[in-house]
Amino acid sequence: MEFLNFVLIFAAALLLLRKPEKERLAFRLVVASTVLMVVLFSIATRTSLLPGVNY
Amino acid sequence: MRRDILYTILAAAVLALTVIPVGAAVFVLGFINGDSPCVMCWEERTAMVLIALLGLFVLRYGPRPKYLGLSILVGAWGIHMALRHTAMHAARDVGQGFSIEILGAHTYTWALFIFLACIVTIGLLLVATRENDFEGAPRKLRPLDKLTLWVFLLVTAGNIVQAFASTGPPPFMGQGDPVRFTFNPRHWVWSLEEYSSAPVSLRGRWAIEKPDVASVSADSGAGPLADLPALGIREQKRIALPLRGTITDLAYDAAADRFLITTQQGVYIVDGSLARILRHTVVDPGYSVDLGRFAGAAFLGGGEVMALGENKSYVILRPDDRADAAANYRYFLESFDRFVELSRSRLATVRARMMYVMSLAYDPAGNSLYTVSVPNSKMRRLVVSRFDRRDLTLSEEFMLRPASDSGLKFAGEKRSLDELFVTGATVADGRMYAISAAYNTLLTIDLGARAAVAAHAVPCLVRPTGIAVRSGNLYIIGEDGLLSIVPLP
């Protein structure tokens, strides 16, 4: 899934360079990538969502 | 500040973020040194790339609020990720960590500083932003902006290659323990292990409940040890002392014929008949070291007394009739002029680290202090820890097992001494006597052999919390003040 995420990021950056008029699409790709990153990290740390230290 | 200077600073910051942590990670650490990010590293790297990308959005379209807002959100999430990641290794010994170290710190630790630097940089750029900067058409990219974009695309392309090799196409995702990076597809590992079933928790193994003597079964016939002989009670009475709180431990000083009783926060020196309080104080548990609830008490010799919290934090007091009440205001909640506080700190254990304790015993012969752990829902062990009185540092630990010649038998294959819930302990003649509120069981532990040499049922106890040796008898006290006197086994 990290592969997919970097493809989304690459596509957004390419739009900035080549098709700046597609700002909405580029920003949506960034939002999608952000959500995917949050979901993936949460999956990986679901057994202890907060930092595992003495509170 | 002039706008072109501001955009130059932003381009330089994006370039630095793209090249130094992310570019170096993929090209130098990854492609050259074979380092593969774990799943958490991948997401931290993604967050850095996203912040850089949002900087590129600002270079292209100006500082629109949605770019700035999202970059701060990603930065905040990045700090959370780095803290979560660093916390896994922060308490290890010096130099230990996960994967490689750069300039004295492991990579995930650097992530924390990088995200903090990102947030600070965004804040500074926002301070320099004017209100009319938020409007306007897309900017024409300058050569530096174009260079930054091209470098960003190159670094992202590198990450695409590494991510494909290390994590695979969807639905495969990053791994907790990735194998080293290689361009040889025969060694690529694509895994779905992170999707496997696992309990969801906020604090994971740190979500440990406080010990509660009322939560355990007192039925001595249901304990882990079979066919235990019962100890007859010589005398049973209820002591009536004006204590603040319920009793949490008991100790005896033969030289002065007096007892020490602790309550949740109270320290009471009581006469040998347990009828009169000679002196007392109530400790402020929140001053400096969090003492929690007292669970252990001991005389240390020389008149000093020690009260131990269930979280292994302690306070050492010395009786003093001329104590400065004004100076003691910070330490005590009442009776300010009866003790001097000598020290307040914490005992550290290794095997009992994730467990609370409900007992404390002092062995004058070895000048050592002992604690015994109580089990919890995450960790079930009976660990005896010994601390040197001189520096109050851990000297040894052992997990209690029956001595081979003790004749002790378990009631089932899966039963063990780890089920016991030791709430009181005392040492006499090289032996520890430990009372377990679970199954009302008295253990006799040979401290030299580090093993249980005997065990007895004491059926009539009600929530025992303390034990002391006096004149060949064991004085076992319950939290409600019920004192049971039994012969030493």
H/E stretch holding B77 reads: helix B65-87
Confidence of residue B306 (pLDDT cuts 50, 70, 90): very high
Residue B177 lies in a domain: yes
- Closest-CA residue of A relative to B46 is A37
Check whether residue B254 and residue B158 sit in a common domain: no
Best residue of B84, B147, B346 to probe chain A, by most A CBs closer than 10 Å: B84
Q: Measured between beta carbons, which residues in chain B are less than 8 angstroms from residue A46?
A: 198, 200-201
Contact status of B170 with chain A (Cβ, < 8 Å): yes
Sheet architecture: strand order including B277-283: B249-253, B258-262, B266-271, B277-283, B332-334
Question: Which of A10, A12, A33 has the CB atom closest to B157's CB atom?
Answer: A10
Residue B278 shares a structural domain with residue B142: no
Chain A residues with CB inside 8 Å of B81's CB? 41
* Judgement on whether residues B64 and B123 belong to the same structural domain of the protein: yes
Encode pLDDT of B152-171 as tens digits.
999 999 999 999 999 999 99
Is B197 domain-assigned? no
Identify the closest residue of chain A to B41 by CA–CA distance: A41
The confidence band for B138, taking pLDDT boundaries of 50, 70 and 90, is confident
Residues B315-337 pLDDT 10s: 999 999 999 999 999 999 999 99
Mean pLDDT of B241-250: 96
- pLDDT (0 to 100) of residue B139: 84
Pair (B107, B229) in one structural domain: no
Question: Does residue A41 have a pLDDT over 90?
Answer: yes
- The token duo for B282 is 């109530």
CB proximity A24 to B under 8 Å: no
CA B393 to chain A, closest CA, distance in angstroms equals: 20
The answer to whether residue B375 scores a pLDDT higher than 90 is yes
* Domain shared by B249 and B351, yes or no: yes
Q: Is A18 near chain B, with CB under 8 Å? A: no
Domain presence at residue B44: yes
Mean pLDDT, rounded, for B274-287: 95
Name residues whose C-beta falls within 8 Å of residue B441's C-beta, 6 or more positions apart in sequence.
B220, B223, B225, B228, B420, B435, B455, B456, B457, B458
The torsion of the CA quartet B418, B422, B426, B428, rounded to 10 degrees, works out to -30
CB B390 within 8 A of CB B381: no
Gap from A28 CA to chain B (nearest CA, Å): 11
Clarify whether residues B182 and B284 are in a common domain. no
By C-alpha distance, the chain A residue nearest B81 is: A41
Assess whether pLDDT exceeds 90 at residue B101: no
Q: DSSP assignment, residue B373? A: B
Could you tell me the CA-to-CA distances from A12 to B57, B76, B181, B218, B278 in Å, in that order? 10, 22, 27, 66, 77
Which residues on B lie below 8 Å from A39 (Cβ)? none
d(C-alpha B19, C-alpha B34), whole Å: 18
Given this model, what pLDDT does residue B128 score? 86
Query: Are B176 and B251 within one domain?
Result: no
Q: Return mean pLDDT, chain B.
A: 94
Distance from CA of A44 to the nearest CA of B (A): 6
Q: Does the pLDDT value for residue B222 go beyond 80?
A: yes
Residue B207 counted as domain residue: no
Structural domain span for residue B44: 3-91+100-186
Examine residue B193 and state whether it is found in any structural domain, yes or no. no
Instruction: Identify whether B199 is part of a domain.
Output: no
Cβ–Cβ below 8 Å for A31 and B90: no
Considering the domain architecture, whether residues B259 and B391 belong to the same structural domain is answered as yes
- Cβ-in-10-Å burial (0-12, 13-18, 19+) of B283 comes to buried
How many contacts, defined by CB atoms under 8 Å, are there between A and B? 150
Residues 274-293 of B with CB under 8 A from A: none
Do residue A38 and residue B77 have CB atoms under 8 angstroms apart? yes
**B156 & B294 share domain:** no
Higher-pLDDT residue of B140 and B394 is: B394
At B436-446, the pLDDT tens digits run 999 999 999 99
DSSP class per residue in B273-330: TS--EEEEEEE-TTSSS---SEEEEEEEETTEEEEEETTSEEEEEEE-TT--TTGGGG
What ipTM is given for this predicted complex? 0.97
In B12-71, the residues whose Cβ lies within 8 Å of chain A are 39-40, 42-43, 46-47, 49-50, 53-54, 56-57, 60-61, 66-67, 70
Higher pLDDT, B57 or B197: B57
In this predicted structure, the answer to whether residue B180 has a pLDDT above a threshold of 70 is: yes
Of A2, A48, A50, the CB nearest to B46: A2
The DSSP bridge pattern shows strands B422-428 and B277-283 to be: unpaired
Checking if the pLDDT of B136 tops 70, the result is no
Q: Specify the number of domains making up chain B.
A: 2
Q: Are residues B158 and B218 in the same domain?
A: no
Q: Determine contact: A32 vs chain B, CB below 8 A.
A: no
Q: Give chain B's radius of gyration (CA, Å).
A: 31
pLDDT at B131 over 90: no
Work out the angle at residue B459's Cα, subtended by the Cα atoms of residues B248 and B465, and round it to the nearest 5 degrees: 5
Q: In angstroms, rounded to a whole number, what is the distance separating the alpha carbons of residues B7 and B437?
A: 69
Of B144, B167, B186, the last residue of a domain is B186
Apex CA B448: angle with CA B445 and CA B449, to 5°? 70
Chain A residue with CA closest to B164: the answer is: A3
What span, in angstroms and rounded, lies between the C-alpha atoms of B10 and B71? 13
* pLDDT at position B45: 96
For the stretch B351-372, pLDDT in tens is 999 999 999 999 999 999 999 9
pLDDT at B217 over 90: yes
**pTM for the complete prediction?**
0.88
Q: A41, B40: Cβ pair inside 8 Å?
A: yes
Q: Is residue B200 one of the residues assigned to a domain?
A: no
Q: The domain spanning residue B475 has which CATH number? A: 2.120.10
Verify that B162 and B288 share a domain, yes or no: no
How much is the mean pLDDT over chain A?
A: 94
Side-chain half-sphere exposure of B188, counting CA atoms within 13 A = 17
B36 shares its domain with B81: yes
Nearest by CB to residue B46, choosing from A27, A37, A49, is A37
Confidence bin at B135 (pLDDT 50/70/90): low
Inform me whether the C-beta atom of residue A20 falls under 8 Å from chain B C-beta atoms: yes
- The answer to whether residue B122 scores a pLDDT higher than 70 is yes
Distance from CA of B156 to the nearest CA of A (A): 6
Can you give the pLDDT at residue B100? 79
Residue B140 at interface with chain A, using a CB cutoff of 8 Å: no
A48 touches chain B (CB under 8 A): yes
Chain A residues with CB-CB distance to B169 below 8 A: 3-4
Q: Would residue B191 count as lying in a domain?
A: no
pLDDT tens by residue, A17-37: 999 999 999 999 999 999 999
Alpha-carbon gap, residue B189 to B169, rounded angstroms? 11
